[in-house]
Each structure stands twice: as C-alpha cells, then as structure tokens.
Amino acid sequence: MKKIEPAKKIVGEITLPGDKSISHRAIMLGAIANGSTRARRVLDCDDCNYTIHAFRDMGVSIQRDGDYTIIEGRGLRGLKRPKSAINVGNSGTSMRLLSGILAGQDFEVTICGDKSLQKRPMDRIVRPLSLMGVRITAAEGGYPPIKIKGGHVKSVNYKMPVPSAQVKSAVLFAGLYADGVTTLEESFKSRDHTERMLKYFGSNLKVEGLKIQVEGGKELEAKTIEIPADISSASFFMAGAILLKGSRVRIRDVSINPTRAGILDVLTRMGAKLKVTNRRDLFEPLGDIEIDSGETKGIVIDEGMIPGVIDELPIIFVLASLSSGRTVIKAAEELKIKETDRIKSMEENLKAMGAKIETKEGCIIIDGVRELKGVRLKSFGDHRTCMAMTIAALTSERPSSIDDTECVNKSFPEFFKVLESLTA
C-alpha cells in the first residue's frame, strides 16, 4: 500500500522513457531485418523486456549499451525454434504482434502469458491469420495460450471489423511472408506506428486513406532508430499540471504522431493551456509539450476519437471529474478487455473519491465536481488505473493510499520517481 500525499502544484522540465508501442516494434522488426539495428531509448519495462526475451529465445542477439539497444537481425525467416513455449507475461502487444511474425517461421510454437493475459481475447488475430493459411489455434473461447505452426502464408484482402493497431500489425507482419500483396482496410484510423516503421525498414508498403497494402517477400534492412517519449506516459503529468493550480510542466521529445496524439486534441477542446514546440519529424513526429494549470470543461468524445485516446481514457476520466459541466465518452467498450476492466476500475475508484460517474446506454457520463476526497484506492493490478488514480489523489485535501503500485512496472517503472521530482 503506497501513501499519496496531496500536492500544491507540479513544476519542472522532464524527459520521459521511450514509447512502449514503438519500442516493441523496433525490437521485432530489428530482429527480422538484415544487419544490426541500433535503437535509442527502448523502454525498459516488463512488457518490452518480455518481447526481448522472446526473440533471444529464438536466437536473436539483443544487448543494451547505455541508451542504445543493439539487435542483431536474422532476416525474415532466420528465427530459430525456441526450446519451450514463449512466455510474454502480461503483454498483449507481444502476443498479438509476435503471432504475425511467427506465421512466417518454419516451426511450431506456443505463446503463453500470465493469468491476466489469459482473460484477453485473441480470436481477433486468430481469424485473419487463419484466413492467411496460418495454422493457429487459441484455447477455448479464443483466449491464450495460442499455438502457431508457421510456414506458407497467403495474401488476403481483410476488412477489420473493429479498429485495432495490434490486430492490424499482426496481419501486416504476416503479410511480409505472404505470396503477393496483402490488403487491409480499417473503419477508423488506428495508430500507425507499424506502417511508419515498416516503411522505414524498407518494406514495400502503401497507405491510401484507410487502406494499407504490403507486398510479401521483401527483406528488411537494419536501421538506427530514435524512439520518442511515450505520450501515454506524458498524459498523466499533463493532467496533473492542468488540475493543480500554479503548475507548469515541459515534457521533452514526446511522440506527437497524429494517430496517437488524440489526447492533445481532447485537452485543447476541454480548454487546457498547452502548446507543442520544437516540432521535428524523424520516422515518427515528435516535439516538446508545454502545459500550464487552468480551468477545463466537459466535452463529448465520440466513437471516431476513441482509437486515438484508448490508452489515455483513464486519466481523461480523472480530468473530466474535476472539469465544469458534463463529459460524455462514447463507444469505449475496448477498455473492458485491457489488463483489467478499466471502466469498472476507474468508476469504482472515482466514485469512492466523490466523483459523479456512471455508465449508461454504452456511454460513460461524468459530471464535474469541485473536489475529490482522499480515500483508499485500488489499482486492480492495472498500470494505467494506478497512475491515473495517483494523479487524482494529488488533487485531494487529505492523503490517499493505493495498493499494488508495482503494476506500473508494466509500462513506466520510473513513474513515481518522476512524479516526486515534479512535486518536490
């Protein structure tokens, strides 16, 4: 149980660890490229370390050297069969994206995870990969573990029923091994880190609106990669700065990818005082985010905005609870199948603090209150619930406590250390 003292304000300039989603993809594509990939600022967290261990088990040399992670690629089909099942812990990203790469390897392997991951649906990748001729099965109900017998992959035209960057990535990765061109179409644009990185590594990939095409059979070439800071991690400090009067925070080198930076649009519409400076474009756009305290108002977040803020919704719940007026969040059912049911975890915690939040007819409705009270909070073993409720606790007049804070190691082990530096 960790005690969270109220804070008067947060002030400072920080550089956060590398983006988790981009780190995963850098490791994976570096492993199947030809040559030595040097990736700067790969996130050192539980999830990304499971991805590293998975590729080491398949014969890939991966070493950390200061800020750099050196990945000695083995080419598209050069991975070796691991001696046992690949354990990805609690990382749904690792399981789903690895499945696409393993579709093209000439061996059979099982991917398993912890008890939490066993509750997350994998049929959404089993279906499209099966259409591509991959022999892939999940446990009863479409849950992990999953078993894959790689080999021959067929190109497909696949229209995604639900926007998902992880499913899209699995199909595109499998498409690297397919005969011909694989075409994938989304209904809404999900985060496009995979498309950007595949192009950067030299794949034959085209994007036209919501349609993506990748040509199979082309080898990838190793690269040097600068990984920007994670905007999902930044969002907690952005919200804290907004809510605590007199605060001012500058966060350097943050990913501002348009398909990922929906939080900036949401905060701007809510009336937050923020600006992005020092913009530049590598294989991913990045910049410095400067944010000041100020009053915010409730808004409507509709279905089309959800893919761009899915990871930031817990902290948006907190901000909405202390904004004037009503916030309505539509079509956020995806939150129910994260590390925990985040709608339930956030609603239970915020109600305990005195927030007015309810789920009605598929919408999350939050009416702003003047203040939240200090209480005993539960992380539910979920990193984003834990970090969001920690920020909420900073705003109360009395101390709060929160259990199982080690869950932040999944994505942001340094969270409490960085927060302490801003509140000191």
Residues serving a catalytic function are 311
Torsion angles phi and psi, residue 288, rounded to 5: -100, 135
| CA dihedral over 281, 257, 267, 254, signed as positive or negative | negative
State the Cα torsion 153-156-160-161 to the nearest 10°.
-100
- CA–CA dist 352, 374 (Å, integer): 9
Are 216 and 179 in contact, with CB atoms under 8 Å apart? yes
- CA–CA dist 324, 124 (Å, integer): 39
How many other CB atoms are found less than 10 A from the CB of residue 234? 25
Q: Please name which of 274, 187, 168 lies closest in space to residue 231, comparing C-alpha atoms.
A: 274
- Cα within 13 Å of Cα(322), Cβ side: 27
- CA–CA dist 270, 233 (Å, integer): 20
Secondary element (H or E) of residue 321: helix 313-321
- CA–CA dist 323, 271 (Å, integer): 10
- CA–CA dist 17, 342 (Å, integer): 24
- CA–CA dist 176, 288 (Å, integer): 34
